[in-house]
Every structure is written in C-alpha cells, then in structure tokens.
Structure 1
Amino acid sequence: MLEKSEFIAQKLLAPDPYINSEGALFYHCAGNSGYDSVRRHYYVEKGGKLVFDSYFNCFPLHLYDLTDEHSLEVRIKAKGKSIFSAGQAHWQKSGDMLIETHIDFSNEDEQLSVPIPLMEESGVIFLEFTAREPLEIYDVEFVIIGPRRREVSVCAVITTYKRDREVQNTAKRLEAYFSRNADIAPLFRLIVVDNGGETDTVPFSAARVIKNPNYGGAGGFMRGLLETIDDGRASHALFMDDDASFFPENIRRTLAVLSFSKHSNLAISGAMITKLHKWMMWEDTATFRGGCRPLHTGRDLRHFMEVMTCAFDKPFMSPSRYGGWWYFCFPIAEAKTLTFPFFVRGDDIYFSLANNFQIIAIPGVVSIQEDFSEKQSPLTLYLDMRNHIVQNLTFLNGKKSARADLKMMRSFFWRYNTAYHYETAAAINLAIEDVMKGATFWEENLDMAQKRAEIAKLMAQEKIKTPLPYDPNYVFAPRPIRRPRLMGFLRKATFNGHLLPGFFFYKKGRILSLSDRAIGPQLFRRPFAIHIDQSNGAGYQVEINRRKFFKNWLKFCRLTWAYKLRYGRLLNAYSEFKQKRTSSGFWQQRFGMQITSADK
C-alpha cells in the first residue's frame, strides 16, 4: 500500500437538464424539499426530509477494499439545523443505521466532518437529512482516509468521426469540471482520435488531438491506446463515446474505486441509459454467450430496490462479461490482446473477452445516449451479424457446435426476412459470406469503405426519410399480440403470410415506432408497415415482397450449408487470427507507427 492520505471518493450530484434531470435518480423527499436549480443547492423546509438513497448519490462502499487502516468521513457544507443520519443497505438482508445525530450548520462556507463507522460487512451507504429548521445543502463529500492500494492515473480516449460539436462540448465540460476539482486534475488527460478530419483542437488543457485513418471505432481506440502506452504516464485507459452525455464525476468515482481495489486487473464499465427513458437502465454491463445479453435492462432506477439489484446482482468475475466502449476504464498492463478490426460493433466485446479483466459497474457511473435500436439499419445488422459469428468462432471454440452458430444466424435472418425487412436480411447474408472469406477480407476492408457503399446500394425502402409522408387513415396502431393456436400455426406455416394469396390480407398496414422494428406477428396479413419516430416524423415504409423473401431465403440456405461444411477450417482460421493479428504490431503497422521487436 501507499502512504496514508485523504481521497475524496465521491461528491454529491444534482439534476442537470443537459445530462439527466430525473429527480428520483438523485434524491427522494418528503415534505417541502428538493433541488433548487436556480440557486444550485438542495433544500429542506422545516419538518421535511431529503434522502439520498438514489442511483447517482448512494455510496457503494462494498466496491472498496478497505482495511483497519482506513476510515470514512462524510464532509458536508450546509446552512440550517438538521437531524442527520447515515444508513447502510445490504442485498436481500437487513440494513444498518450507522449514525444519527443533530447537526447545526451555521455557515455555508464551513465544512463539517462526520465519521462513518465501517462495519464488518460493507454495503451501500445512503444519507438522510430531516430539517429541524430550514436547511440548504451545498455539498457532500465521501472521504476515505488511509493508504491507497495503488497509484492510478487515467488517459481517456475519444474516437470521433465528424462529430466535432459533440467533442467540443465534452472537452468544455471536462475543463470546467477539473478547474473545480484540482485534487484529481493531475490524474487525468485526454486523447481525441479524429477519424473524420473535422477536429483539430479541443478546449481542454490536458488534451491532444491525433489525426487517424478512418478505421472506425476499433482503429481509433487502438490508436489511442497505443499512443497512451507510448506516452507511459497513465496506468489506465478510458474509452468513451464521442456522442454520449455524462457527468464528469464519473471519473472521480472511477479513480477512487480503482485506487482502493486489491485487484490489479479491475476494469470499470459505465452503465448506459438512453435519452428516450432517462430513468431506465438500458445496460449495466453484459455477457456474451452465443449472443449479447445485457444485464438489468429495463430496471426503473427511480426505485432504490432496483438500484440495489443493479449494484449487487452481478457476477464479480465472469469469463463472458464485457463492457461497452461508451465508458470503459481498464488497466493498460492487463491489455495483452488488442481488439479485432471490426471497424465498429463488436470491438468492445472482443477486447473484453480476449483479456483477463475483472469487470464491474459503479452505481451512478453511466453514459446517457441514443437508443441503439433507433440507429438500426441494414448496415448495423450487417455489422452485428459479423460480430456475433466472429465472437463465437474465436471464444466459444470447442464449447459449441456449428449448429449453435446456425441457430443464432437463423434467428437474426428469419426475424427480418419475415417482417418485410428484405434489405436487412440481404445484409445479414452478406455478413455471413464475408466472415467465411477469412483473414484476407478483414485486412482488405479495414476502412469498410467498399462494404459501406455496397450496403448503401441495397437500401431503398429501409432508408429513413425525414419527414416520412403517410396517410394515418390507412394504418393501424400495434395491438397486443394474440396467439390462438390456429392463427399461430397459419402464420408459421405461411412464413408470416408470404405463402398467402393477396385476398387474405387486410387493406390497411401497421404503424410502429422505430424502436419496435421487425416484429413479425404485428405484420401478419398486413400489406405494409410504417416505422416512424413520432417526435420528428423520421421513418420508412416496408412492403411485403414474396420474390425478395424467397431470394434471400435461398441464399441464406446456401450460405449456412457452406458454413457448416467449412466450420472446422473457420475455427482454425479465427484462432490463428487472434494470435497473429490482434497484437500491437498489427495495428502499429496499419497506423504507420514504429514497431518494436516486442510488439511483432
């Protein structure tokens, strides 16, 4: 351990309309209390109560490996009279009342320290203020006193492609944050890898911009990692999206957990919340076992029990767990294998599975961004299909058979081909075909320019138009799917209506949201479907086309038969690819960087 010191592990967060303003994710209250967004402080009127048992403001003590050499304090800046208490919640068992006391805050500039006892079993700590007189709360800090287990410094990497405005805004937020948090400013620096040629400088004093060929997120992040290694000052790298919103407080909490962890291979994966539903968990890390399985999707983070479930109900060490690169901080020394040249989609999964990281999530460390389902297109499904096949061939080698891969491919393909998304189904076929070409394909298509153009030519119906004109009198909204046996049998036997003659179909189509695409039962006996974002009118229309359906299906059958025959050779090819083409030398050669003998 290092010398004894004080480390501010966590500060109080407040709602911010530019990031997340869901009040119940920050606090719960009774009586006249809440957050004053004009004066920028929390308030509690006499008799009211403010409780920070919330996603953003609970303190996950169970993630810190503290010993008898450590102590914990809460430091508060406030004005007024309060009954202050600190509780500790545990998973599926009774909690602890750690402290309860009367505190008079006479001066808003004065900081009062309250020692918090450390119990034998640690959980999640939450604070509660009950006002005896009107109370204003300006700041709360959780401070760990004692030796850190290791020195941690972070170099963040943002890969951007023609999103200069978003990158500039992120850099401004970071500059403002670290100007107010000088204690951790020396522990953080930033590299912006510009794949699109738009970003030359950013307004953050500890940042530099690197121009890079457009090899997608995979190439951009690997360039940033190699530059970080060459620089030699950071112990950890942090990959972040260029279009995500986040509280810079994420960085303090990440530094704190890593500094007091006994695990040298610990990695922090930020959760993801979508801009559509800022109260709901989208993904709190995920696992890959033949397919992507996000953890805790749909949990309502306004409720503390749901927050507790996210905090505790995850395996600490899972060989199939991965973290998304919207926010992923990992020890550089443990990154023995670099990622696969996917361009985008799947590079984060591959990187996590290929390296010995212990991946955890921290409550409140989260990225807020667009729902992935709203970005869906034939191109993204092409990328997803490639990603799934390669992960299975590389990491499930010997654990599953070709039959499992074919079942996964059939699930992807059949969903879209039966739901009138023939262009997406054709792109899925193209992905299977390309994966079977082996190493040569990936080396020749690092920038994906040719493939992106090829898939763009496929897109006619499924290209989003803004606004999309349609007649609301000729569409029906989605309804609960009824599943009578006869109708279900008829739907399956006719391939969702593709074998039925036209007179069996209704005259009106179906209207669905962009996030509810390719739901076959909703389209049964409907001649067309409109997928639209009602907030801005963007959408597209698909129509039943029997010729395209059977053309795609026949090609899929040929491809999957060929895949089954070549399965053994493909396993060997992708195992060899992992050994020879995911090294530093492989990527350095593509970037024109100097290759040392150790990197070859």
Structure 2
Amino acid sequence: MSPQEATTDRATIQRVILPSADQTDTVSLYVDAGSARGVRLRETDELARTPKLLEDKLQMVSSESREAHFEDLLDRHSMRVRSGDQISFGTYFNAFPASYWRRWTSVRDVRLVVETSGPGTVTVYKSNARGSVQRVDGKHVDGEATSVFDLSLKPFGDGGWYWFDLAAGTGDLFLKNGQWETSGLPANKGQVTLEITTMNKPDFCLNNARILAENPDVLENVKEILIVDQGTQKVEDQEGFAAVRDALDGKLRVINQANLGGSGGFARGMFEAVENGSDYALLLDDDIVVEPESIVRLLTFADYCRKPTIVGGHMFDLYNRSILHTFGEVVDPYRIVPALPHADMETRHDFSVSNLRQTPWLHRRVDVDYNGWWMCLIPTKVIREIGLSLPLFIKWDDAEYGLRAREAGFATVSLPGAAVWHVSWIDKDDLVGWQAYFHARNRLITTLIHSPYPKGGRVLRESVQTDVKHLVSMQYFTEQGRIDALRDLLKGPDDLHKVLSTKLPEINALKAQYPDAQLKEDVDDFPSPKLGRGPMGGTVVGLPSKKQLIPWGIKTVARQLIKAPGPESAERPQGYLAHRDNRWYRVAHYDSVVVTNAEGTGASWYQRDPKKLKAMLTEATMLHAKLFREWDNLAGQYRRAVAEISSIDAWKKTFEANSEGGS
C-alpha cells in the first residue's frame, strides 16, 4: 500500500513503523510493554514527606516501563504480542501527534485502522496537554481482524496524542499493519528535493544514501536526492557508491563545490530545489542516520498544512539512541540565544528511562521559532519569497532563517515522530577554536537584523563578558577570532559572499601563532608539570558568587595584566586539566596549564601572556564601543541587505565562482 493512499476516498497520514534489524537500541522509541497508565512523577513536597508513598509510586512507574522483545518484531510494520502480554504504541514514533495536526492543518478527524491476527484486544487512548491518559475505545479481536476507530481532533487545542495498545489473549496476537487515515487527499501532493551537505564525511553520506535505497517506498515523492560535497574525501570515491547510485535509479546527483560551509551547502540545496521545480527542499546534515519514514511524515504533514509551513524533524543522539536532544527551540529575543519554549521541558530526554506516556511535558504542544537543519523541510514558495540562507558559513543560519520566515508570515513546526540520529555536540565545545569567529559574528548579525530591543538587548554586554572569560582563560586564538569577527561585522554586509570560501583558511593560518591552538594527541607530548606547582595548592576553584563576580573579575584581570608569569611557566605547565574542569574561573588561576579538548582527541598548552591580554582586551573594548555607537546605522545596513545577499541571483554567482564540477 502506498504511504499516502489507503482507500479511494481516504489517505494514510501516518503508518505504524518498527525499528530495522540493526537498531536494537531504539526499540523504546517504537514500542514498549506494560499498561497505558504509567506517569512520570516529580518528588513533590507531599511525596517527600511520605517516603513509602514515593517508593510505591516510583515502583509503579518502573514496573510500567518495560521494553518489548526485539525478537518479536517481524518486519518494519508487523510484530508478535506474546500470549498474556500487553504492548503499547504510545511511543515517540508511533503515537499520533494529534495537537500538531489540529493546530497547523485543516484535518479535524482521523481514522485508526489496525489489522491483526489472533486473540486479544485493541485499545485506543488519548492524552491532553497535561499528560493525563484517557481510554477512548477498545475492541476484542480474534482470527483475522481489521479494527477501525473514528477519532476527533477537536479536543487537542494545546497538546495531546492518540495511540493504541495491543493485549494478547490465550494465544499470540500479531499486528499485521497499523495506520492513521484522514478523508480526502491534500490539495497538492508535493515533490521534494532531498539534499545532504557534506564535508569529509563520505561514509556517513553513503550510509544514508544506502538507507534511502533500501526503503524505496518513502521515495515516491522525492524528485531528486542531492549530495553537495564540499570536502576533499569524495563520496563518489567510496567503495559501494556505484551500487547505491544504481539502486536509487537515477534519483541521486552529486555536486562538488568549494567549502562554503553549512550555509553554502544548504543554500545550494534550496537553489537546486527551486531550479528543478520541486515543491520542497529537505535539508539533511551529513553526520546522521535517518529514520526513512520521517521523510514521508514531513512531506505529508506539509502537504496538509493550511499555508506554506517549514516542517522540521527532531534530533536523537547517534551514540545514545534513545536520547532526544531537544523537543523544540526558540530564540530568546533579549539575549539572542537558543532557548526552550517552556520551563517544563527537558533537554537530553531518555525514552528508555521514561517513555512518552510517563512524561507529562512531552504531551504539551511545543511551538518553535526554527528547526535545526539536521532535518528540515522548506517549501520552495517560502524560498522564492524570503530568499535562501544568509552566507554565514556555519552557525545561526538555521535560526536566522526561521526568524526571517516567521517575520514574513511563515511558521516553523518541529514535528514529533520525524527524526534523525545525529552526532551530538554534547561532547564538543565549538565556542573555542576556529568556530568562535563564526559564533560571534553570526550571532551579532542575527541580532542586528532581528532584535526588537535597542542596541540588541543584552547581546553586547554578554559579548564583552565572553571576551573577558576567554582572555583570563588564556584562550588567545579564540579571542583573536572574536576580534576579527567584530572587525568584519563593522565593515557591513557587502563582503559576506566574498569571504565565504576564504575566511576559514585565514583563521586556520593564525593557529601557528598561538600555543593554545596547537593540538597534540597525548598529554605526554608536553613537558611534565613540576610537583606542587599548581595554583591554590591543587584546591578545586568554584564559580564566584553573583555578588563577588565583578570584584573577582577586576582583581583577576589586574593580576594577569600586572604580574608577569614565572619563567618556568614557559618551560613546563603547572598542571593538567581535563576538559570538564576547563572552566574560565579555574583556568584563570594558572599561568601555564595543559587542557584536553572536548572530543578527547588531544590537548593544548595554555600559557599566560600579559602583552596579548592587554592588546586584545583594549581592542575588543574599543570595537564593542564602536559597535554600540554605530549600532542603529549598522542594523539598517544589514536589514536592507538581507534581500540581496540571500537572493537566488547572489547565490548563483557564488556557486559559479566556487564550482568544482559535478555528476
């Protein structure tokens, strides 16, 4: 059966899916065992005063959260429920996100169709925005059976899901198929260009192309699969590429271009989608594993939206696959930083510990400002109206685009049940090193264009504070990048396209001048510290209190400016610091220290230099003062330039100037 066709007068809008054979660690995202009545609890005052009650409640939660048997999963759409067992499909990938369909589409009624074989019951449940579970309907089944439930979406204004459970009777019960339908087809069944931007991650890219080739039913409305290869390790050179290309039957195309960063790669995907007449561009990161059904779900949801809508997928941790990184993001308008849409939300939620039914905050609909471009579907109508990505290389391109779209009247939806597994940045620190330039510049560009507050709200103050933290931490290479970002920002928007392919090499060329930028694989590659030379007698230094912070900062900066480091600090470090201990308020007490990086792949030697500190602090302060004075004029320049620098014509010239040919 086609993913979008159930009968002549009805359309399938979501299918029940199960994990593939190599995804044993993701079962909890698809099915789980136990009753539908589990709820995750917080230790309220009442429970805290009654330890026995708390213990009983927590035991109930634990007993209700069991994983299904992996060997009972028969294929991507069918499974066995053992006699006497109960299996719930109230899970991330198989519950129906009713409140999202209620809010963003014209669909007001859905039909659940469940095909089974054997004795048992099919029970339908729903939740509200508070996470309360309610039984809706149920049917006893035996032999070959098709259970049909007609359900209304009207009660789901603020949140809530539908799902069903299966309970096997005296014998095994088999799920043969399950799907959610609605009456009538959408006004337009759109075609999509699926684009992956990659930079020297050919194995990831080829793996995702292989996943797509193995799931041809999700490609029915995919017009083209496009890989924009910006690296030196080419996807086309990988063993097995030809076989995958042939399996995709002419849908795969590779474009080789110079490294224009994520914004350049994703802009190319937008550009090609407009050029080939697609209705949507689906942007994907390279270092992911895609749940292929997500493609159908995003496209189907977008087709049914009342007006053109950006629809994005969520991100799970590739190396801890039951953990959802975040359920949706907004931009704090006063600080211009990513933020959570409401206070109850958690980041890094582990579904193997607390499933959907047990986690009340997951039932509230989350409205977002943007969706990360690890997986994001953008209508070409939106692209034609507001343009492509800004030429920012990396960082803030996705958030800025979401804000720009919202201001033009186009919403973004982060759709539950559509997701990828992505290499998490929880073990990265991209605020340090070469990426600091792009973080600083692009955040300020986004602020200049979109901030509703005078002088950008709190952004300039936080930028100055960040400079001080890097400087007292002896991260001079990082601070040089931030200073260069301010210089370039003040030049205005005219050079953004020109420097797109040259800025990163310029930044990397500076590394040789800074010891903190030179990475060695092992701490033993550095001189060993002298016993007892660490500051504060080896005592762990804590974060100064809010009241002490300013006096502490003044005292620390003054000491680092006035007091020369001991001569031995250039010969050997005072100690080693693991990355988790590399906090500015600790590092500031050292004159010389070896620090490991976030990825655990190496370490750098930080050495205090009063001359660098004085020169950089002076320049950063002067640049911020100039930016403050010229803020209003500069904001006008950037706002007026957006239409031109994000235009199809401007990007076309950049692509032509940086082309390496393609296939």
What TM-score bracket applies, with the shorter chain setting the length? 0.7 to 0.9
Residue number among 354, 361, 381 corresponding to 1:309 in the alignment: 361
1:367 equivalent to 2:420? Answer yes
The Cα shift of 1:543 comes to 4.3
Indicate conservation of the 8 Å contact 1:378/1:455, yes or no: no
Give the whole-Å Cα distance in 2 for the aligned partners of 1:329 and 1:81: 42
* Alignment partner, residue 96 of structure 2: 59
1:185 equivalent to 2:220? Answer yes
C-alpha spacing 1:20/1:240, structure 2 compared with 1 (3 Å): farther
Indicate conservation of the 8 Å contact 1:150/1:259, yes or no: yes
* Alignment partner, residue 10 of structure 2: 6
* AA matched with 1:120: K
* Alignment partner, residue 597 of structure 1: none
Give the whole-Å Cα distance in 1 for the aligned partners of 2:211 and 2:11: 22
Residue number among 73, 82, 99 corresponding to 1:45 in the alignment: 82
C-alpha spacing 1:144/1:194, structure 2 compared with 1 (3 Å): same
Indicate conservation of the 8 Å contact 1:240/1:327, yes or no: yes
The Cα shift of 1:359 comes to 0.7
C-alpha spacing 1:151/1:268, structure 2 compared with 1 (3 Å): same
C-alpha spacing 1:84/1:587, structure 2 compared with 1 (3 Å): same
CA RMSD of aligned residues (A): 3.6
Give the whole-Å Cα distance in 2 for the aligned partners of 1:464 and 1:306: 45
SS in 2 for 1:57: coil
Give the whole-Å Cα distance in 2 for the aligned partners of 1:534 and 1:385: 20
1:324 equivalent to 2:372? Answer yes
SS in 1 for 2:152: coil
Where do 5+ consecutive residues of structure 2 fail to align? 35-62, 658-663
* Alignment partner, residue 124 of structure 1: 161
Indicate conservation of the 8 Å contact 1:84/1:128, yes or no: yes
1:587 equivalent to 2:648? Answer no
* Alignment partner, residue 186 of structure 2: 148
Instruction: Summarize deviations over 1:81-102 as a string: whole Å, max 9, x none.
Output: 3222110111026443222222
The Cα shift of 1:399 comes to 2.9
C-alpha spacing 1:465/1:477, structure 2 compared with 1 (3 Å): farther
* AA matched with 2:375: Y
* Alignment partner, residue 570 of structure 1: 634
The Cα shift of 1:360 comes to 1.0
Residue number among 549, 560, 567 corresponding to 1:498 in the alignment: 560
The Cα shift of 1:55 comes to 1.9
* Alignment partner, residue 225 of structure 1: 270
Deviates most, 83-92 or 338-347 = 338-347
* AA matched with 2:308: N
Indicate conservation of the 8 Å contact 1:13/1:56, yes or no: yes
1:286 equivalent to 2:329? Answer yes
Give the whole-Å Cα distance in 1 for the aligned partners of 2:518 and 2:363: 40
Q: How does 1:61-460 map to 2 (within 5 A)?
A: 61-65=98-102, 70-76=109-115, 78-92=116-130, 94-105=132-143, 112-118=146-152, 120-122=154-156, 123-132=160-169, 133-137=171-175, 139-178=177-216, 181=217, 185-196=220-231, 198-200=234-236, 203=245, 204-205=248-249, 206-232=251-277, 234-262=278-306, 264-288=307-331, 289=333, 290-295=335-340, 296=345, 298-302=347-351, 303=354, 304=356, 309-310=361-362, 312-315=364-367, 321-335=369-383, 336=385, 337-355=387-405, 356=408, 357-372=410-425, 374=428, 376=430, 377-396=432-451, 399-401=453-455, 404-449=458-503, 450-458=505-513, 460=515
Give the whole-Å Cα distance in 2 for the aligned partners of 1:359 and 1:68: 18
SS in 2 for 1:328: strand
Indicate conservation of the 8 Å contact 1:24/1:54, yes or no: yes
* Alignment partner, residue 511 of structure 1: 577
Give the whole-Å Cα distance in 1 for the aligned partners of 2:206 and 2:91: 30
Give the whole-Å Cα distance in 1 for the aligned partners of 2:502 and 2:606: 27
* AA matched with 1:239: L
The Cα shift of 1:425 comes to 1.6
* AA matched with 1:466: E
The Cα shift of 1:480 comes to 9.2
The Cα shift of 1:415 comes to 2.9
Indicate conservation of the 8 Å contact 1:511/1:530, yes or no: yes
Instruction: Summarize deviations over 1:304-350 as a string: whole Å, max 9, x none.
Output: 2686534534336xxxx122111111211122222211122222222
C-alpha spacing 1:534/1:82, structure 2 compared with 1 (3 Å): farther
Instruction: Summarize deviations over 1:425-446 as a string: whole Å, max 9, x none.
Output: 2211111111112234324312
C-alpha spacing 1:140/1:467, structure 2 compared with 1 (3 Å): farther
Give the whole-Å Cα distance in 2 for the aligned partners of 1:427 and 1:102: 66
Give the whole-Å Cα distance in 1 for the aligned partners of 2:541 and 2:316: 26
* AA matched with 1:209: V
C-alpha spacing 1:468/1:137, structure 2 compared with 1 (3 Å): farther
Identity of aligned residues (%): 17
* Alignment partner, residue 56 of structure 2: none
The Cα shift of 1:120 comes to 3.0
SS in 1 for 2:453: coil
* Alignment partner, residue 598 of structure 1: none
TM-score when normalising by structure 1: 0.84
C-alpha spacing 1:402/1:275, structure 2 compared with 1 (3 Å): same
Give the whole-Å Cα distance in 2 for the aligned partners of 1:393 and 1:158: 30
Indicate conservation of the 8 Å contact 1:69/1:147, yes or no: no
The Cα shift of 1:104 comes to 2.6
* AA matched with 1:364: G
Give the whole-Å Cα distance in 1 for the aligned partners of 2:224 and 2:489: 37
C-alpha spacing 1:142/1:564, structure 2 compared with 1 (3 Å): same
Give the whole-Å Cα distance in 1 for the aligned partners of 2:123 and 2:450: 49
Deviates most, 448-457 or 560-569 = 448-457
SS in 2 for 1:245: strand
Indicate conservation of the 8 Å contact 1:274/1:282, yes or no: yes
SS in 2 for 1:282: strand
Compare the two structures and name the one with the higher helix fraction.
2
